[in-house]
Each structure stands twice: as C-alpha cells, then as structure tokens.
Structure 1
Amino acid sequence: MANVVVVGAQWGDEGKGKIVDWLSEKADVVVRFQGGHNAGHTLVIDGVTYKLSLLPSGVVRKGKLSVIGNGVVVDPHALADEIGRLTGQGVELTPENLKVADNATLILSVHRELDALREGSNEGTRIGTTKRGIGPAYEDKVGRRAIRLRDLANLPTLRPKIERLLSHHNALRRGFNLPELTVDSIYEELASAAPKVLPYIAATWELLDERARAGDRILFEGAQGALLDVDHGTYPFVTSSNTTAGQAATGSGLGPRSIGYVLGIAKAYTTRVGEGPFPTELTDEVGRRLGERGHEFGTVTGRPRRCGWFDAVALRQTARISGIDGIALTKLDVLDGLDEIKVCVGYELDGQEIHRLPASQGSQARVKPVYETIEGWSGTTAGARSWADLPAQAIKYVRRVEELIGCPITLVSTSPERADTILVADPFED
C-alpha cells in the first residue's frame, strides 16, 4: 500500500477536500502539510456541508488520526474557532484524534494587519491575498524571528522572543505611520490562545514516523494549487509556501521515501482567485455560466472565482513538477449542455507557439491560448458513479484531456457528494 499525496494541479479550489475525504476511508492518518487558513475545503456528506480551513479533511471520518504538520502556519485563535465550529456540527475532535506540530509557526494579529496594509497600500502591488497573515508569518519563519506553537507551553520565555519579533514589525509600522505594538499586547494575545491549542500539540514528525513504521497508510493533504507555488507558480501572484508534492516530506517531517503515489486534482475547466495571469480566462457568457453552474465562490473569502477553459499546457507542466502519477478530474458535470468545449493545447508568445508556461512575469501576462475545440454533450454527467453512466462524448473529452496532459485520469468526480465518484485506479493500491 502506497502513501498518497494529494495536491492541487491548477490555481487551487480544484475540489481537493472531497477527494481527500473520499480517499481517507482507506487511510489511517491524514496530514495537512503547508499553507494556512487562507485555504478552504468544502465537504458535502449526506447533504451536510462542512467548511474547513486548517483542519485536514479526514476529521469528518471516525477512527482517523488528523495531523497539522510543521509546514503549516497556524493562527491559534482561528484553529480554536474551527475546532469549535466542527464540534458543533457533531464532528468528534479530541487530543487523541487531532495533533498539531509543536514546531509549527504561529500567525498573529500583527501578521494579519501587515497583510491587509500591503494589499491596500498600492494598486500595482496587490497579489490578491486573503489578508489572513499567511505571507508575513512565513516571512518571520524564514527570518528566524517567529513564535512557534511549542513556545506557548513556556510562557515565561515568550517576552524576549516577542521583543525580537517586534524589533522588525515596529520598524515596518513606523513606515506605515502606525503606533508601535507593545510586548504586553502580543503576550496577552498568545497567553489567551495557549490553553485552547496546547492540548493538541505533539512532536508530529516522531508520531508520523512511528505510524509509518507500523504500516499505517498516510494521506498527505496539500492546500492551494501547484500554479500558486512560491517557486514554480505564476510568481509573484502566488502563495507564500511550496504547494507541490515535494513539500509533503518537509512539511510533515517525514522523508521523501514516505511519498508513494502523487494524485493531482484538476477541474474539467480552470478557475483562479485573486490577481495574476490566467491565459484561458473567459469574461463572456460562457465564463459566467461556468461560475454559476460550478458555484465558483471562495470557501474562505466568498470571492467569485475567475473561470476559463481547461489549460492542458499548464497542467502538463504542474504534473511534471509535482511528479503526479494520476489526476482526479472534478466538476465534469459543470460542462454538461455545452455545444462545444475548448481546451488550451499551446500558447502564442510574441508570435511564436510555445508549450510551457514561461517563468517571466511579463511573458506570462502576454501569452495567448491556442485552442482545440471538442464537441460537447447534451446528456448529464451529474451524479455518475461509473463510466456506463457518462455520455459517450463526455468520455471522449476525459480521454482527450488525458492524452494532452500526458497523465492518466484515475478518478472522476461528478458532484460535491462523496459517493458521486468514478474510480479508475485506486491510488492506495497502485
């Protein structure tokens, strides 16, 4: 049995939550390994909707261990609120089935405020963040001035660490003509969070190593998508962490040999939230139809997502960068009823056709999609659970996508419901 890593293969919002939840039935442990509460996963199970931001999607299944790894930046108050909300929906969350890495970096109010200030200060530098403080928290992590979860367990040692943190942030605040923060204010913020989150902390790298050695199956859950990777995405319009599959090892504390099968999640079309290039974006009636039928609004912010045709060039690239073994294709039902469907098979850049997404910000903004037109279908794919339930032309579309991206389709999702899934190949058995 292979451990499985699930990553977004586009710009996020591909439907990872449902797929992770669906796969978690065969897993013993589900690990979130990067990002923060800027990510959102929506699960629909027996008509009940669960909205998750920090918690791994496996929490809604009984008997599974859920882990928030060291690669995640954690807002302790947001985590406590999310635990409370899910508990109120009948989900059992205890220190026995939820563990949070003791070396995870904390997101504080100073990070949220800085994030919002930067986004609102200059039209030309907006990235389109959720203003949740994720980027500034990662900056403090690599700047070696972060407060980590384990620090809350020894409150008397916090003040020198807060002083080091504020020597940086108060200099920035002076530049924004804002009052400086006091050590006491940050101390009180952290002290109030400590009793809410400390029961869940653990040396998760050690726990995961023990579970792996015991033969438990581990499911690694990524947030956002590969095109938002801070190294390999549409920089600078990216998130602040590595979102590709390799981060599963670093962000959980397990080595690269712990990764078995890499499953990429991709919609049957493409969406993006926030600023940045989007070669196949549609601003016409078709784009609006995709957004309405696909309910394309962000789980965390409620922002409408930009919609466009499937981009095979970008997906082929992310499949290589993440070492994707198979793709779970989601929201096929949103394409039902279209007379024709277009797929991007190349880009035109300054009069030349290319077959990769260039790294340059300027080049990314100038690429134009080269389309192939595929016949649509009049039947419905919604709720299909086998190939026999799909219209013939829908199957042809899936097979053509498979050819263009150079990667097999191993799962097809036809609605938000857990059971409405066509299994082609089981990642855990591969």
Structure 2
Amino acid sequence: MNNLSSFTTLDSNPLSKPRSFGPYLHGPIHLQRPRNVVVCSVKPSIATPSPLSVSGSPNQGLSRIESLTQVSGVLGCQWGDEGKGKLVDILAQHFDIVARCQGGANAGHTIYNAEGKKFALHLVPSGILNEETLCVIGNGVVVHLPGLFKEIDGLESNGVSCKGRILVSDRAHLLFDFHQVVDGLRESELAKSFIGTTKRGIGPCYSNKVIRNGIRVSDLRYMDTFPQKLDVLLSDAAARFRGFDYGPHVLKEEVEKYKRFAERLEPFIADTVLVVNEAISEKKKILVEGGQATMLDIDFGTYPFVTSSSPSAGGICTGLGIAPRVLGDLVGVVKAYTTRVGSGPFPTEILGKGGDLLRFAGQEFGTTTGRPRRCGWLDIAALRYCCQINGFSSLNLTKLDVLSDLPEIQLGVAYKKTDGTPIRSFPADLRDLEQLKACGI
C-alpha cells in the first residue's frame, strides 16, 4: 500500500451524525477498503496499466474522476500537510487549468514526477508537471516574487517548461522581504503566546491588504508611483518595530530590484478573473488547489493559531473571482492520522515516543520549514466540522499505509466538557479546546 491515496464518494455522509459514546473511542480499528474507492499511486505497480487503479472495475474509478464537475476544488480537512499536492498532480491531467486562490509561499506541496524526482512547490500550482495544464495564481494569493522566480528557475532547470503556462493575477498582493522580517519581529513580541507561523510574511502582507495600503501586482506597471507606495509600507514597519532598519538606501535598493522583477514578471501578469471566467464559458475544466486547510481558516480554525486567509470553500470564490453557482465538486483531503505545525490546540495529539513513531514513519517534516510536525490520531469530530463547512462531495484518504505496523489504531470521535457535557460542534473558544485536552481527550 505504498503511496496510497483513496478517493471515496460520501454517498451517505457518515460524518453528519454525532456519536453518543465517550470523548474518544480507544481500541483496535479493523480497516476495510470501501467498495467505491479509487487508489491513486504516483508510482504504479507493473501490473497496473494506468496511474489510476481501482478497487473493483478500473472503468468505474476512471469515470468517477472524469465525472468531477467543470469547476472542482481540492481542500485540506485538517491542519494542512494532508497530501493535497499529490492529488492535484494526479487529477490535473483531467483539467485544463489548475488555480491557487489563497495563501502564499507558506503552502508547501511536495510532488514527484514520473522519474521519481522531487519537486517542492510553494506558489506555483501543483498542476505544473502536467504539460497541457495552465497554472493560475489568483487574486487571493500573496506573491513573493523572489520565491516565485526561484521556483520557476528550479522547474525550468529540471526540464519543466513554465513559459506561457503560469499566469499571475494583476490583483494579487505583493509580499516583500520586509514582510518576512516583520513576521519574525511580531513572533518575538508574542513571546510564549507566539502563533508559530512559517515566518514567510503571510500575516503582515494580508494585514496591509486589509488596511488598504498594500501593493498589488498591477502596481508594478507604474514605476512612477511605486516608490511612494513602498515608502509608506516601509515607514509604517519602521515606526511599529524598533528592530526594523529602514532608510533611504533601503528604499532605493528595493525599487531598483522591483524594476527588474517587473520586467521579468510582465509576461506572466494577467487579468485572471477574466481568464478563469472565459474558460468557464468555453466549458474548460478548472481544478482549484487549496493551500493550508480548514482548521487553519481565519474564521473557522483554531483562532488565533490559524493562517491569514480562507482555505475553506468560501475562499475559492473570493480568491479567484468566480460565482458560487459555478463551483461543483469539492474533494476534502484527510490523512489517516492528524498532524499540525506550530502552536495551537491539538485534542488528539500523541506525545512522547508514540508521536515520534508516527512522525518518522510518515516523514512528517514541513515542506516549507523542515520543522517536525506534531502528530496525533485521526480526529473525527474535527473532520465532521470541516465537512459541514465545506460540503465535500468526496474525501481523499492519504497515508493509510503509515499505520500498517501499529498494533492498535485509535480515533477521536467526539468532544465533551470537563463535567462530561457533550460538545456538539468544534469549539470556537481557545480555552474550551485547552480544557478538552486537559481532561484527557
């Protein structure tokens, strides 16, 4: 079962009904492959004629994937790192466009090509390895140009052509190096209550976007006003953080650097709202690749230990400029166990040697930061909550094989307060979540 991903239709929505027993069910779980499953493997066995093999009839599985709606999405069901990039890479061959709608270089998607070469993508959509796929970086993404060009150069040097295959929204906001500096300074300020961000500048960039003094990709076309706009951002940062070094020489260097970036980026810039909506009118198929996951959503996640964008279904429409009525199938990707990076509540976390065992068996180290991920059992209560928010038509189960050598598998099935009162949904209050962990859940 190496490199296993199960693509399962939720016909009866088994996660919609709360369970009545205990805070968690502990005990052996007998795993049985569902009947309606497509097993997608990056490295198919010799006996498999296609990279898509199916439990039962191969034609049945292919028709399920090919029947995905014209505009479909792949979203994370946990705290990220579920394996979305691998699934997008597999599904991309059935779509004309793969689009990112939110987040930035804090998203790390690892995929392998047919020769087994590893690609760690952060801004470029995971459909790039499919030669016929157009990759769109939508208006909801924050774009760090040095990082984007580094990814493009790395792809090109490994034989992956990017020319004419990547479009960057003219409405997307630019993430500068100073945003990363500010991210680190803010984390230092928070001391023991730090968020545990990737320090890629995501939060500070979205902050500038929301208070309406951010700089967008389209601003690169007007270098007569660009220096003044950048000066406002840098001056604000210097006024806010004592450790932030800023002077006229810094502004001059940044402006000169971004003049060069503007020239190189020009062929990639497009009105992606128009591009995507025209593609929809022309009946082309579009796959939306989510970054991070629902439990890190700025509204629905474990706030404040969340990301600064909306990696749930609502972020697709606002991040690409498409109407809700055109959005069809949403595939939720869920790992057979749970991981999260950084600080924040984690009700099913396994501490000590048990967590270490899962971490090394599943190679749970961050694509973006290399940090070891915190590991725990599959949290059905959180998964049910994610299904309610997103309305998934399918779930894709990954890394089931990592659990193969464990004598016993445990699941979290429900939450309850310290006094035993059941909790019907995922709590919003951080204190409630911490108490859940304290009472042995």
Alpha-carbon offset, residue 338 of structure 1: 1.6
The aligned residue for residue 328 of structure 2 is 260
Q: Per chain length, whose mean CA-contact separation is higher, i.e. which structure has more relative contact order (CA < 8 Å, sep 6+)? A: 2
Alpha-carbon offset, residue 311 of structure 1: 0.1
Structure 2 counterpart of 1:30, one-letter code: V
The aligned residue for residue 14 of structure 2 is none
Alpha-carbon offset, residue 370 of structure 1: 9.7
Query: 1:11–1:224: 8 Å Cα contact kept in structure 2?
Result: yes
Query: 2:235–2:246: 8 Å Cα contact kept in structure 1?
Result: no
Return 5+ residue gaps in structure 2 as ranges. 1-68
Residue in structure 2 matching 1:112, options 180, 188, 191: 180
Query: 2:82–2:334: 8 Å Cα contact kept in structure 1?
Result: yes
Query: 1:30–1:66: 8 Å Cα contact kept in structure 2?
Result: yes
Alpha-carbon offset, residue 322 of structure 1: 1.4
The reply to whether residue 20 of structure 1 matches residue 127 of structure 2 is no
The aligned residue for residue 160 of structure 2 is 91
Separation (CA, whole Å) in 2 of partners of 1:276 and 1:371: 17
The aligned residue for residue 377 of structure 1 is none
Structure 2 counterpart of 1:107, one-letter code: L
Alpha-carbon offset, residue 188 of structure 1: 2.5
Map of 1:245-256 to 2, 5 A cutoff? 245-256=313-324
Separation (CA, whole Å) in 2 of partners of 1:135 and 1:221: 20
The aligned residue for residue 202 of structure 2 is 134
Separation (CA, whole Å) in 2 of partners of 1:217 and 1:61: 14
Separation (CA, whole Å) in 2 of partners of 1:369 and 1:165: 43
Quick one: structure 1 residues 177 and 27, their matched pair in 2 at CA, closer, same or farther if it must change by over 3 Å? Answer: closer
What is the aligned length? 369
Return 5+ residue gaps in structure 1 as ranges. 373-430
The reply to whether residue 323 of structure 1 matches residue 358 of structure 2 is no
The aligned residue for residue 71 of structure 1 is 140
Structure 1 counterpart of 2:252, one-letter code: D
188-197 or 297-306, which deviates more: 188-197
Separation (CA, whole Å) in 2 of partners of 1:368 and 1:169: 38
Separation (CA, whole Å) in 2 of partners of 1:104 and 1:263: 25
Quick one: structure 1 residues 328 and 181, their matched pair in 2 at CA, closer, same or farther if it must change by over 3 Å? Answer: farther
Query: 2:104–2:141: 8 Å Cα contact kept in structure 1?
Result: yes
Structure 2 counterpart of 1:180, one-letter code: Y
Map of 1:275-424 to 2, 5 A cutoff? 275-351=343-419, 352-368=421-437
Quick one: structure 1 residues 6 and 370, their matched pair in 2 at CA, closer, same or farther if it must change by over 3 Å? Answer: farther
Structure 1 counterpart of 2:191, one-letter code: E
For residue 74 of structure 2, give the secondary structure of its aligned residue in structure 1.
Answer: strand
For residue 333 of structure 1, give the secondary structure of its aligned residue in structure 2.
Answer: helix
For residue 144 of structure 1, give the secondary structure of its aligned residue in structure 2.
Answer: coil
Separation (CA, whole Å) in 2 of partners of 1:332 and 1:179: 48
- Give % identity: 44
Cα deviation digits, residues 309-328 of structure 1 (max 9, x gap): 00000010011111212110
Cα deviation digits, residues 161-203 of structure 1 (max 9, x gap): 2233234222113xx2443343324323322321232220100
Alpha-carbon offset, residue 39 of structure 1: 0.8
Cα deviation digits, residues 35-78 of structure 1 (max 9, x gap): 00011000023322111000000000011111000000000111
142-151 or 193-202, which deviates more: 193-202
The aligned residue for residue 112 of structure 2 is 44
183-192 or 151-160, which deviates more: 183-192
Separation (CA, whole Å) in 2 of partners of 1:233 and 1:144: 24
Alpha-carbon offset, residue 285 of structure 1: 2.5
Q: Structure 1 residue runs of 4+, over 4 Å off?
A: 369-372
The aligned residue for residue 58 of structure 2 is none
Structure 1 counterpart of 2:368, one-letter code: V
Separation (CA, whole Å) in 2 of partners of 1:371 and 1:21: 39
Separation (CA, whole Å) in 2 of partners of 1:326 and 1:45: 25
Separation (CA, whole Å) in 1 of partners of 2:331 and 2:372: 26
RMSD (CA atoms): 1.7
**TM-score of the pair, normalised by structure 1:** 0.83
Alpha-carbon offset, residue 151 of structure 1: 0.9
For residue 320 of structure 2, give the secondary structure of its aligned residue in structure 1.
Answer: coil
The aligned residue for residue 245 of structure 2 is 179
The aligned residue for residue 80 of structure 1 is 149
**TM-score of the pair, normalised by structure 2:** 0.81
For residue 67 of structure 1, give the secondary structure of its aligned residue in structure 2.
Answer: strand
Query: 1:170–1:181: 8 Å Cα contact kept in structure 2?
Result: no
Structure 1 counterpart of 2:431, one-letter code: G
Query: 1:344–1:370: 8 Å Cα contact kept in structure 2?
Result: no
